[in-house]
Amino acid sequence: MESNNNPALIEVADLVELKKTGEPVILDCRYSLADHDSGERNYRAGHIPDAHYACLHRDLSAPVQRYGGRHPMPSAAQFQDYARNLGVDSDTQVIVYDDNRLGFAARAWFLFFFFGHKKISILNGGLKAWLDAGEALDTSEPTRSRQGNFSAQPKENLLVHYETIKQNLGKAPWQLVDARDSQRFEGIEEPIDPIAGHIPTAINQPWQNITDKNNGKVKSIAELKSQFGNLEDGKPLLNYCGSGVTACVNFYAQYLAGRHDSLLYPGSWSDWCSRQ
């Protein structure tokens, strides 16, 4: 992205300056669905200085239940405690990053956004951009010396759940958007969930299309508007994926593109499967 005036997206140079003049809370969101401990191992081997590690299944999800999908959203109380333990106040600038083209950083961004935090940004290009800029990594963990005063105020209107979707198929006031890759969407392969395919009426917009495959940076606002701006004009876009994680990448891209009516099905395909 050649220029960035959106506070939801921050460049490496801006983060460097912010670290000099402010006290941002930085979260390293690296993770692997194939190896749940790899993100934390990589974090300990080297991360952006002063970054805390944010684990998808421990910090950015609630415990798995019978329904709700593989990565249920945390409750307001759980997330508020987590943010306060990081020292997050209502006016703290929070920066999140990963090494997977927003795949997990967008989940952290969405949670802060959903729970009402206004100063939340994703580092454009993630860890690769930091290293490409010649910036150093650190292996020490930041201390957590104080409790923040962050107050979680969930925007429940952003979420749509199974029962509502099921009841409105064929007459929905939204357009379902599936963020998974085309092979999974079309039911050709399904490496994770017990049933292949997609929710009826959904269209496919793979989350990887949001970023440049070479540098992991977010595409231009013009490209994002072209991708999402005219989808079912007049209808909100209801995003889902396998478990409500990478759907947040599409939600985030739509937000950058100026679509502020987007929605999320947090349980996503894994929740849908569990009820069939």
User: Residue 164, Cα to own-chain centre: how many angstroms?
Assistant: 23
Q: Which of 29, 55, 241, 248 is catalytic?
A: 241
Cβ neighbors of 148 (< 8 A, separation 6 or more) are 83, 84, 85, 86, 87, 88, 89, 92
Rounded distance, CA 34 to CA 14, Å? 33
Quick check: helix, strand or coil at residue 164? helix
Question: Quick one: the chain helix, strand, coil %, rounded to 5?
Answer: 30, 10, 55
Instruction: Indicate the SS3 state at residue 106.
Output: helix
Residues 6+ apart with CB under 8 A from 214: none
Q: Active-site residue 241, yes or no?
A: yes
Residues noted as catalytic: 241
